[in-house]
């Protein structure tokens, strides 16, 4: 009898220790605090081991409409790194759509894997079924590590996908339009910094040689800019440099180039303490997302160094402008015209920043937040159920309350 009582006490003590250990583990688990900090609505973890799928879908805000944002495939060093990336990217999409005047919310997805070796039709079709299960709260598109082929595979399982091939009625690869928006943003920045938006003769260092970077380099080459190109895939960078009569630079040396404009067009977080201590330029305007490693600190640091920063999510919005056009029936000319407005948007942001003594990214954030808040207030007005008949976008419309 005593043994049984002792055993019961022993079990109770063991359970108490386990609960205490779990409690301590939860204190160290920062997922929900991160969600609260970023303001996300929903996170979806997608796992199908039999096809190698490990993905995260993040829906940040759907005030303006269904969340739309690309799917990125990348060999993240850890699951935590993947989560951090998708949280930052999806939040950026909310602001990008808002500042661009789109009736869309912000979302993003990441697939953990090597885009060079881990792709398969079944992996992307499985991912497409997870997207479809969200019923239109998230609409996906092409991002880093993805091509039209993968979007076509996803399209096999869901209608909530954009950037599908033109042969299927889509807009195809959004990279050329994204690059055009970056180019427009760069010209607006030159207008602010130099009094003229001409880029002829300007020394522009482009970090990256992917789809957006290569198209941007072609725009710059046509205008007569002096171009420097780098990429971790050196042969790719050398090929682009040769095509645009530019100069290849080793990735480790790009921050030390004698340049007027720096254009990060690869991964984010590249403007950090180390980069700012080395870089010397007048303008930073690139197509990558989340270029500033610390939005507040490094935004202020750039002002202290007299460097004009064009908010990345503003000038790289050409891609989402392009793919969002698919929801209404794609028209390439209309998409390019909308993207061209980035020029005026950037100048408005610079004016707001100057008038209110804030950084350009702070100014852009405020303007985007003002639009989101205005629409949120508008939704307090009752509206009966409505939809659009005969519109290609009808499948994306939702009941309004």
Residue span of the structural domain in which 67 resides? 40-87+107-168
In this structure, are 245 and 363 located in the same domain?
Answer: yes
Query: What pLDDT was estimated at residue 384?
Result: 61
State the pLDDT at residue 170. Answer: 85
User: For residue 163, how far is the Cα from the chain centroid?
Assistant: 15
User: Is 291 within the bounds of a domain?
Assistant: yes
How confident is the model over 253-307, as pLDDT tens digits? 999 999 999 999 998 899 999 999 999 999 999 999 889 999 999 999 999 999 9
CA-closest candidate to residue 221, choices 211, 229, 230: 229
Q: What is the structure's pLDDT at 1?
A: 38
Residue 155 near residue 169, CB atoms below 8 Å: no
For the sheet with 261-264, list strands across it. Answer: 247-248, 226-230, 203-207, 261-264, 283-284, 308-309
**pLDDT attached to residue 104:** 95
Assess if residue 1 is contained within a domain: no
Q: How confident is the model at residue 383 (pLDDT cuts 50, 70, 90)?
A: low
The pLDDT tens digits for 103-129 are: 999 999 999 999 999 999 999 999 999
- 107-130 CB burial, b ≥16 within 10 A, e <16: bbbbbbbebeebbeeebbbbbbeb
The Cβ of residue 317 has, within 10 Å, a number of other Cβ atoms equal to: 30
pLDDT in tens, 360-377: 999 999 999 999 999 988
What CATH number should be reported for the domain holding residue 139?
3.40.50.10860
Q: Is residue 100 situated within a structural domain? A: no
Q: What is the pLDDT of residue 25?
A: 47
185 pLDDT higher than 70: yes
Do 297 and 320 lie in one domain? The reply is: yes
358 and 236 in a common domain: yes
What was the pLDDT predicted at 157? 97
Report the pLDDT averaged over residues 128-137.
97
| Same-domain status, 273 and 306 | yes
Same domain, 203 and 289: yes
State the pTM of this model.
0.80
Instruction: Report the share of the chain in percent with pLDDT over 90.
Output: 74
Task: Catalogue the active-site residues.
Answer: 108
CA nearest neighbour of 360 among 293, 263, 292: 292
Shared-domain flag, residues 217 and 344? yes
In this structure, the answer to whether residues 147 and 219 fall within a common structural domain is no
Which of 3-12, 24-33, 80-89, 207-216 comes out lowest in average pLDDT? 3-12
How many structural domains compose the chain? 2
CB contact set of 162 (below 8 Å; sequence gap of 6+): 68, 139, 140, 141, 151, 170, 171, 323, 324, 326, 327
Least confident window among 21-30, 144-153, 387-396: 387-396
How far apart CA 101 and CA 25 sit, in angstroms, is 43
CA distance readout (Å), 54 to 67, 115, 144: 21, 13, 16
């Amino acid at each position: 009898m005593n043994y049984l009582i002792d055993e019961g006490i022993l079990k109770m003590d063991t359970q108490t220790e386990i609960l205490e250990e779990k409690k301590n583990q939860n204190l160290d688990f920062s997922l929900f605090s991160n969600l609260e900090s970023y303001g996300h609505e929903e996170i979806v973890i997608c796992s199908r081991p039999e096809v190698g799928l490990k993905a995260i879908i993040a829906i940040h805000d759907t005030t303006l409409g269904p969340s739309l944002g690309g799917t990125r495939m990348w060999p993240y060093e850890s699951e935590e790194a993947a989560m951090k990336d998708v949280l930052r990217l999806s939040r950026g999409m909310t602001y990008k759509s808002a500042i661009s005047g789109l009736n869309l919310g912000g979302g993003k997805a990441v697939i953990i894997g090597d885009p060079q070796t881990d792709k398969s039709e079944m992996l992307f079709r499985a991912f497409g079924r997870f997207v479809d299960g969200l019923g239109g709260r998230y609409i996906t598109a092409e991002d880093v590590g993805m091509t039209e082929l993968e979007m076509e595979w996803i399209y096999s399982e869901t209608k909530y996908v954009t950037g599908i091939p033109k042969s299927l009625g889509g807009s195809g690869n959004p990279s050329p339009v994204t690059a055009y928006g970056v180019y427009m943003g760069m010209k607006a920045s030159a207008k602010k910094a130099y009094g003229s938006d001409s880029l002829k003769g300007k020394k522009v260092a482009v970090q990256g040689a992917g789809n957006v970077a290569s198209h941007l380099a072609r725009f710059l080459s046509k205008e007569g800019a002096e171009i420097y190109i780098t990429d971790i895939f050196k042969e790719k960078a050398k090929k682009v440099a040769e095509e645009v009569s530019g100069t290849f630079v080793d990735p480790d040396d790009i921050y030390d180039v004698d340049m007027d404009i720096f254009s990060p067009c690869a991964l984010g977080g590249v403007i950090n303490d180390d980069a700012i201590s080395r870089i010397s330029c007048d303008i930073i305007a690139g197509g990558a997302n989340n270029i500033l490693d610390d939005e507040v600190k490094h935004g202020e640091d750039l002002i202290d160094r007299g460097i004009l920063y064009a908010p990345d999510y503003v000038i790289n919005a050409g891609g989402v402008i392009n793919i969002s056009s698919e929801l209404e029936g794609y028209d390439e000319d209309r998409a390019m015209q909308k993207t061209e407005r980035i020029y005026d948007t950037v100048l408005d942001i610079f004016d707001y920043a100057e008038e209110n003594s804030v950084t350009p990214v702070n100014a852009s954030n405020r303007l985007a937040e003002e639009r989101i808040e205005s629409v949120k207030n508008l939704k307090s007005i009752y509206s009966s159920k409505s939809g659009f008949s005969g519109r290609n976008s009808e499948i994306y419309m939702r009941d309004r309350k």
